[in-house]
Structure formats: structure tokens, C-alpha cells
């Protein structure tokens, strides 16, 4: 059974710092991996989707990497800003492409 773990559970950093959020999964037979952001009381906003054949994806200050063999993905946020404060979740897609398993998320707070 696929399990997704995100470390750390919470993180507080000063503005301007570069940071890395971690996501690990137990079954390397995944199809895609997707990173989301969730603001309090809101739904999830898609940040990056990495196909299983890819190693990384970039969007602005965000860079996500995927290492299927080790069951890991990282989300790198450069030059963090207070507006980046949110919960970040990763989700892996099973090989059928229909089911997603989510991690519990990392709650990020960027101090001004």
C-alpha cells in the first residue's frame, strides 16, 4: 500500500531564505507526482506536476525534483516571501492514473 510522508510537518523561516520541502513515497511505481499549495480554509492550488519519466519541473521560484528509484521528491523555494506562507502538499498518482495518495503536508511560515 502506497504511503506518502512529508517532512518537516512545519517550518518557519525568515524572508529571503531558500528552503527545501521533502516528500517520500514507499512504492516507486508511480505515474505522476504533483505538488500543491493550500491556504487556510481554501482548496488546493496546483504548483507543479512531474511525470514519472521526468526528473524535475520549474515554475518561477519553484523547482520540484523527482527520484523514483529512491522514492523521493523535493520542492525547492527560492528567495521565500511572506506570501509563500501556506501548507504544501505532495500527491502521487498510481500507475492507473486515477488514484492519488496525499501526504499530510508541510505548513510553511515565512516571517517578514
Partner 1 sequence: ETGVTQTPRHLVMGMTNKKSLKCEQHLGHNAMYWYKQSAKKPLELMFVYNFKEQTENNSVPSRFSPECPNSSHLFLHLHTLQPEDSALYLCASREPGQGVSPLHFGNGTRLTVT
d(CA 34, CA 8): 18
What is the smallest separation between the CB atom of 110 and partner 1, expressed in angstroms? 22
Binding region for partner 1 (CB under 8 A): 4, 31-32, 34, 36, 41-46, 49, 51, 89, 91, 96-105
Euclidean distance between CA atoms 13 and 69, whole angstroms: 30
Q: Which is nearer to partner 1, 71 or 105 (CB)?
A: 105
Nearer to partner 1, 33 or 77 (CB): 33
In angstroms, the CA 111 to CA 95 distance is 39
Q: How far apart are CA 72 and CA 75, in angstroms?
A: 10
Closer to partner 1 at the Cβ: 74 or 94? 94
Amino acid at each position: 500500500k502506497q504511503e506518502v510522508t512529508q517532512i518537516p510537518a512545519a517550518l518557519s523561516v525568515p524572508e529571503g531564505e531558500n528552503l527545501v520541502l521533502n516528500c517520500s513515497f514507499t512504492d516507486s511505481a508511480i505515474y505522476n507526482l504533483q505538488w500543491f499549495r493550500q491556504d487556510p480554509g481554501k482548496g488546493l492550488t496546483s504548483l507543479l506536476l512531474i511525470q514519472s519519466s521526468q526528473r524535475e519541473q520549474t515554475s518561477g521560484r519553484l523547482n520540484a525534483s523527482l527520484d523514483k528509484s529512491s522514492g523521493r521528491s523535493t520542492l525547492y523555494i527560492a528567495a521565500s516571501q511572506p506570501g509563500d506562507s501556506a501548507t504544501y502538499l505532495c500527491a502521487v498518482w498510481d500507475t492507473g492514473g486515477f488514484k492519488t495518495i496525499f501526504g499530510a503536508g508541510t505548513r510553511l511560515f515565512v516571517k517578514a
